[in-house]
Structures are given as C-alpha cells and as structure tokens.
C-alpha cells in the first residue's frame, strides 16, 4: 500500500496525521506500507515513526532529479533522499509527465539513479482518456514501461515496482474496474516476463486511480494486482488506516 500525499500536509500537519494514523493502524508484517510525503514533511514523518518505534511503515519521495548533485535549483537528488530516510521514490507519476512535461527519457534516467542510490523506484505508467478511447492503452503503457527500464541492465529490472495509474481515473472519482486493471496488469506482467523471465512474477504491480476504502478490496482481488497506489484517500488518517488494513 503506497500513499502519495502530493503537495499536501506540511510538517505540522504531517506530525498530527502520523499520530492519528499510527493509533488506528497496528504494525503488520504481511504487507508493505509506504508513505510519500512532500519533501519538506519527510523529516517530520520519519521522526514520528522513530518515536513510535514503527519500522513497518516506509518512506519515499515523490520525485528525484536524474543527477546525484548539481546546480538544479528546487530539485532533490536520490542520494539526498536516501540520506534523509527515504527508501522508495516515485518515478514518472502522471503529474510529472503531463503537468511538468517529464519525458520518457528523463524517466529512464531517474529509474537508473534511484536504483544506483539504493532507492526502490515505483515506475508509474498509464494512459490519458483520449488515448484509451482510441484503443491505445496497451501501446502507451508498454512504451512508458519499456522506456522506463531502458537505462538499466535486465538484472536490475527485478528491483523496480510498477504502478499502473490510468490518468483518467486520478482524482476524478472514476476508477478502473477490477477487470480493467487486471487486463492492463496482465500486459505489464507479460512484458516483464519477456525481459527477465520467471523473476517477473516477483515484481509488484500496483493499481492507482481514485482508490478508497470502498473499492480497495475489489481491486486487490483482481488478477496481477499486487497493491495500491493511493492519492487523495491517503490524506485522511482514518481512511488510510482502513485501506492499509484491507
């Protein structure tokens, strides 16, 4: 279960959220829970987890630069994120692609630097509504997936996580049906198998797009859906605790 706060919850709000969430969600070892707070709130979340003695909740960053350091005002590097306590990072989220113009080539470099820095990259792929209506879902998803892993050796592909997030279902209240999700996840799994063989079965493929406590169980029950990437519903500690307990 991965919660992406996007540009929400500064340090003070993050501390209050974590206290409320940890009261509602007991540690479980049968699942992985990762939070992606804004960079400025990362330390606050980390400190609350340390104070509570909770190593079952992991931390990630929402974006990294493709260079390890340099004159890039406003950016954070993968080594910095690792040093600050993150162990995961999102790469190629739809908003990075479609709001900030991030290219497939940039995404590939970010996957590469994340792996080299000891971060687990969550490579996000997904089609826009007009692409889906044109019947281009599979070609768009495979293009983004293939580009995202193009800068790393095939042996390293097993160290990534893939998140299918149809752009038309993000923050819109529309959700892909479990069958919709399973169909695209099957395509992703098949492509991974062609690259790395049997190890493809070990690569988690997550679904993201208007996930909430009401639809979480049905989505998780779909074939090849190994977890959920949650946006807005992860901002409420009670809602997020309920999803993580699904």
Model pLDDT, residue 77:
98
State the pLDDT confidence band at 105, using cuts at 50, 70 and 90. Answer: very high
- Separation CA 203–CA 193 (nearest Å): 10
pLDDT at 172 > cutoff 90: no
Between residues 194 and 176, which one has the greater pLDDT?
194
Q: Give the residue from 220, 154, 169 showing the smallest Cα distance to 2.
A: 220
**165 catalytic residue (yes or no):** yes
DSSP 168: G
Model pLDDT, residue 194:
95
- Separation CA 122–CA 161 (nearest Å): 5
**65 catalytic residue (yes or no):** no
Annotated active-site residue in 95, 109, 127, 165: 165
State the pLDDT confidence band at 84, using cuts at 50, 70 and 90. Answer: very high
pLDDT at 3 > cutoff 90: yes
Instruction: State pTM to two decimals.
Output: 0.96
Q: What is the pLDDT of residues 200-234, one digit of tens each?
A: 999 999 999 899 999 999 999 999 999 999 999 99
pLDDT at 48 > cutoff 90: yes
Segment 85-102 shows an average pLDDT of 97
DSSP 190: H
Annotated active-site residue in 93, 109, 127, 239: 93
C-alpha of 115 from chain center: 15
C-alpha of 197 from chain center: 23
Residue 199's contacts (CB-CB under 8 Å, 6 or more residues apart) are: 158
Model pLDDT, residue 176:
85
Element (H, E) at 182: helix 178-196
State the pLDDT confidence band at 243, using cuts at 50, 70 and 90. Answer: very high
DSSP 102: -
State the pLDDT confidence band at 174, using cuts at 50, 70 and 90. Answer: confident
Around Cβ 223, how many Cβ atoms within 10 Å?
12
Percent of the chain with pLDDT over 70: 100
Counting every residue written for the chain, the total comes to 246
Model pLDDT, residue 242:
98
CB 204 within 8 A of CB 228: no
Q: Which two tokens stand for residue 64?
A: 């990294």
pLDDT at 175 > cutoff 90: no
State the pLDDT confidence band at 96, using cuts at 50, 70 and 90. Answer: very high
Segment 169-186 shows an average pLDDT of 89
∠124-127-130 over CA atoms, to 5°? 160
Residue 227 has, within 13 A of its CA and on its CB side, a CA count of 20
In the block, which residue shows the tokens 């690792």? 82
């Amino acid at each position: 279960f991965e919660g992406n706060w996007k540009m929400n919850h500064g340090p003070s709000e993050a501390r209050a959220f974590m206290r409320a969430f940890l009261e509602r969600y007991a540690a479980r070892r049968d699942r992985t829970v990762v939070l992606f707070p804004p960079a400025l709130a990362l330390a606050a979340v980390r400190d609350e987890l340390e104070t509570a003695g909770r190593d079952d909740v992991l931390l990630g960053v929402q974006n990294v630069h493709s260079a390890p350091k340099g004159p890039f005002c406003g950016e954070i590097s993968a080594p910095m994120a690792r040093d600050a306590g993150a162990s995961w990072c999102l790469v190629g989220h739809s908003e990075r692609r479609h709001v900030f113009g991030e290219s497939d080539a940039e995404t590939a470099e970010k996957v590469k630097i994340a792996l080299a820095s000891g971060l687990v990259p969550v490579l996000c792929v997904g089609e826009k509504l007009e692409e889906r209506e044109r019947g281009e879902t599979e070609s768009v998803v495979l293009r983004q997936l293939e580009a995202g892993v193009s800068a790393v050796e095939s042996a390293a592909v097993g160290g990534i996580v893939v998140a299918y997030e149809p752009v038309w279902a993000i923050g819109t209240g529309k959700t892909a049906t479990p069958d919709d999700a399973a169909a695209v996840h099957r395509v992703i799994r098949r492509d991974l198998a062609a690259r790395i063989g049997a190890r493809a079965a070990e690569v988690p493929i997550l679904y993201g797009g208007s996930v909430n406590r009401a639809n979480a169980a049905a989505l998780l029950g779909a074939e090849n859906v190994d977890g959920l990437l949650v946006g807005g519903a992860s901002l409420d500690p009670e809602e997020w605790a309920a999803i993580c307990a699904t």
